[in-house]
């Protein structure tokens, strides 16, 4: 029972970290705020967001294996597959902003060139899509935790 509580805590902590840092990206990635310092900060914030996302996935998988309900209970439930699919979609979408921030940082460090407004808007749109998809995942999580989908 203690292991279950600790696994749940670490999983929730990783989720909250991920949410805080995607929200930070959304706040920073604005045309009117882009400057050299923000470009550097976006790259660092995105790195923490990525680490938190990996931790969410790792702790979630660990919970299915070592948790009280067991892997057979989780992996046969279609709601888990919906959650994972949404998570993978968020991960795929996040590739573009990550690569973009790295490119922006390289350009800023090389000569100070800031990104074009259209590119900032496009990147922010993808960050916002991620944030909104992340907000849907707990809906499936609460139903999964209560035994729906079996």
Q: What is the pLDDT of residue 67?
A: 86
Number of domains in the chain: 1
Q: Domain range for residue 31?
A: 2-145
Token duo for residue 28: 């920073």
| Average pLDDT over the chain, rounded to an integer | 95
Residue 18 · residue 49 · CB < 8 Å:
yes
| DSSP labels, 77-140 | -HHHHHHHHHHHHHHHHHHHHHHHHHHHHHHHHHH-PPPPHHHHHHHHHHHHHHHHHHHHHHHH
Q: Phi first, then psi: what are they for 148, rounded to 5°?
A: -70, 155
pLDDT tens, position by position, 69-118: 889 999 999 999 999 999 999 999 999 999 999 999 999 999 989 999 99
Give a yes or no: residue 46 inside a domain. Answer: yes
34/99 Cα distance (integer angstroms): 17
DSSP 29: -
Give a yes or no: residue 70 inside a domain. Answer: yes
Nearest to 133 by CA among 22, 25, 58: 22
pLDDT tens, position by position, 50-69: 999 999 999 999 999 998 88
* pLDDT greater than 80 at residue 150: no
Q: How would residue 27 be classed by pLDDT, with cut points 50, 70 and 90?
A: very high
Give a yes or no: residue 97 inside a domain. Answer: yes
* pLDDT greater than 80 at residue 1: no
pTM over 0.95: no
Give a yes or no: residue 150 inside a domain. Answer: no
Nearest to 137 by CA among 65, 62, 69, 57: 57
């Amino acid at each position: 029972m203690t292991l279950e509580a600790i696994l749940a805590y670490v999983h929730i902590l990783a989720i909250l970290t991920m949410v805080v840092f995607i929200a930070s990206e959304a706040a920073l990635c604005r045309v009117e705020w882009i400057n050299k310092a923000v470009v550097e900060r976006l790259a660092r914030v995105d790195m923490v967001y990525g680490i938190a996302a990996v931790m969410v996935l790792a702790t979630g998988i660990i919970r299915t294996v070592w948790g009280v309900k067991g892997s057979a209970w989780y992996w046969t439930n279609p709601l888990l597959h919906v959650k994972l699919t949404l998570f993978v979609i968020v991960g795929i979408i996040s590739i573009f902003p990550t690569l973009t921030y790295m490119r922006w940082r390289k350009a800023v460090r090389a000569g100070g060139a800031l990104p074009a407004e259209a590119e900032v808007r496009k990147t922010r749109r993808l960050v916002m899509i991620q944030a909104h998809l992340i907000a849907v995942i707990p809906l499936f999580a609460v139903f999964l935790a209560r035994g729906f989908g079996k």
